[in-house]
Structure 1
Amino acid sequence: MDDPKFETAPWAQLQDLLVDHEDVQEFLQELARLTASSLSARATTYCGITLQRSRDHQFTVASSDDEALQMDEIQYAFGDGPCLHAIRIQDEVHVGNSAADPRWPEYMAHIRDYGIRSMYSVPLKLEGHAKAAMNLYAKDPDVFDEEFRRVARTYGAEASQALLLAVRVARHAATVEDLQSVLTSRTDIDLAVGIIMGQNRCTQQEAFDTLRRASNGRNLKVRVLAAEMVSRLNGEPATTHFTAG
């Protein structure tokens, strides 16, 4: 562990990942690759990252390479193993040698067939119901000694902060997109109601009732029918002057 690059988790690189990759899945892929390269000073290390955004949400899997992807997929197929256990108990799980570890015997047998001997899973601290873990694999036994685990824990803490920000950004982006969709739909409906009021010389409520009856008659949602009306009259879809920023 004499490599100074290994001793210092590359927080600046983690920040660069956040700037360059707005999509969480893409961010996780790059984070897994960066983790594997940063923690391979002693031996080649493969990295998988598992993210569960909520209790009912399926796992999001990212990996530094095919080896890590295979190891994680085997674990998900068995429904248990170091990574999933680390997520459940929110604590690190270390396997010094898969040939001698008695835990998860069927899973360990499959892992050994792929030549994996050392495993180390570190939970990444998030917020709410979101949970994640960084899963490290190596082909030699006893690769992840105490010094390695100390450095990996420090790296994991910094990666947790980066991932937390990425999840927040993704959540905010989804909220903004949903709000913009609501505003656009509302604009279409208001314009359609205005069109009907002008054509029929009726009140706003009467125009909305007319629009609703027409939507029921054509088995279309009100917002879809309204958008059709506005686009037909305007020659293009309506735009909203509201912003969700």
Structure 2
Amino acid sequence: MTSDDDATLGSGAGEPKSDGDEDLRDALVALANLSTGHLGLEELLTKVATYAVRAIPGADGAGLTLLEHGRSATIVSTAPFVTEIDDIQYGLGQGPCISAAAEGQTKLSGSLGADQRWPQFGSKVARLGVHSVVSLPLITPGAVVGAMNVYAHAKHVFDNRAVELGELFAAPAAIAVENAQVLVQAQRLAAQLQAALGTRGVVDRAIGIMMSRTGATPDEALNKLRSLSQTEHVKLPVMAQRIVDAAVRRARALHKEEE
């Protein structure tokens, strides 16, 4: 377990609930039952963050950041105050979630306003009445796929036991997040390929129409199509679609005349 503890952690509020292990088990069961194929990415990430609040005693809210190519790509939260805090964090470019993701280590603070690791961030969020945080990197065998902030309003709410519970939750959470990310990327690629196939199809149809009209070769028809797209200041597929649509309209008009 890795953590950056405060110089002093309060007792009282930081003591884990007696049913902490049971809460963790419930959260892990809920996490295991998540279906990446039936939820949108943001909805799934929000559920993961919600289960983290359930798993860590004393938590008032949580936020989760998904990383793509080392940058934050999707940020979700379980409560409006978490969104406000994470907006401050990413606006400043400093904070426990950023540090946890960059270093691959859990960050713990019970008095953010006095924490010198993130002085600008800490002072701003303390004025909003949020003082405690556990930030957990979401680590898979391949990379850090994201990070999760678990917040509490009071000071010194989280102790080393909260860190331990959080890290036990973060390990399978990272796998769930990675699976969701892989699925979304696959869906995105499939959509791009489908769009590319559709684009190629309409260009080929336009070339065929131009060849039948003028007797041009495929290369000559393609060059003419490119010239038209440049003259009209539109993309090649758009110009091709115009030619196809015009040919369809002419064919329908002829058909009506023959009736």
Q: Which moved more, 1:182-191 or 1:112-121?
A: 112-121
Shift of 1:11: 4.4
Identity rate, percent: 27
Of the candidates 97, 100, 109, which is equivalent to residue 111 of structure 2? 97
Q: Give 1:135-150 correspondences, 5 Å limit.
A: 135-150=149-164
Partner of 1:29: 46
Amino acid at match of 2:58: A
Q: Are 1:53 and 2:71 an aligned pair? A: no
Bigger Rg, which one: 2
Q: Are 1:190 and 2:207 an aligned pair? A: no
- The Cα RMSD (Å) is 2.4
Of the candidates 171, 181, 205, which is equivalent to residue 157 of structure 1? 171
Shift of 1:82: 1.3
Per the normalisation by structure 2, the TM-score is 0.79
Amino acid at match of 2:246: R
Q: Secondary structure at 1:16's aligned position in 2?
A: coil
Shift of 1:17: 4.9
Structure-2 change in CA distance of 1:139 and 1:221 (3 Å): closer
Structure-2 change in CA distance of 1:199 and 1:45 (3 Å): same
Measure the CA separation in 2 of the matches of 1:101 and 1:203. 72
Q: Give 1:8-87 correspondences, 5 Å limit.
A: 8=25, 9-22=27-40, 24-36=41-53, 38-39=54-55, 42-55=57-70, 57-87=71-101
Measure the CA separation in 2 of the matches of 1:92 and 1:130. 12
CA offset digits 1:161-183 (Å, max 9, x no partner): 11101111111111111111110
Q: Are 1:170 and 2:184 an aligned pair? A: yes
Aligned length: 231
Shift of 1:100: 5.1
Structure-2 change in CA distance of 1:224 and 1:14 (3 Å): farther
Q: Select the structure with the greater relative contact order (CA < 8 A; seq sep ≥ 6).
A: 2
Give the unaligned 5+ runs of structure 1. 236-245
Amino acid at match of 2:230: N
Q: Are 1:115 and 2:133 an aligned pair? A: no
CA offset digits 1:179-226 (Å, max 9, x no partner): 111100100011111111212233222222222222233222221111
Are the equivalent residues in 1 in contact too, given 2:133–2:149 (CA < 8 A)? yes
Measure the CA separation in 2 of the matches of 1:160 and 1:27. 12
Consecutive aligned runs of 4 or more in structure 1 exceeding 6 Å deviation: 127-130
Per the normalisation by structure 1, the TM-score is 0.83
Give the unaligned 5+ runs of structure 2. 1-16, 250-259
Measure the CA separation in 2 of the matches of 1:187 and 1:203. 18
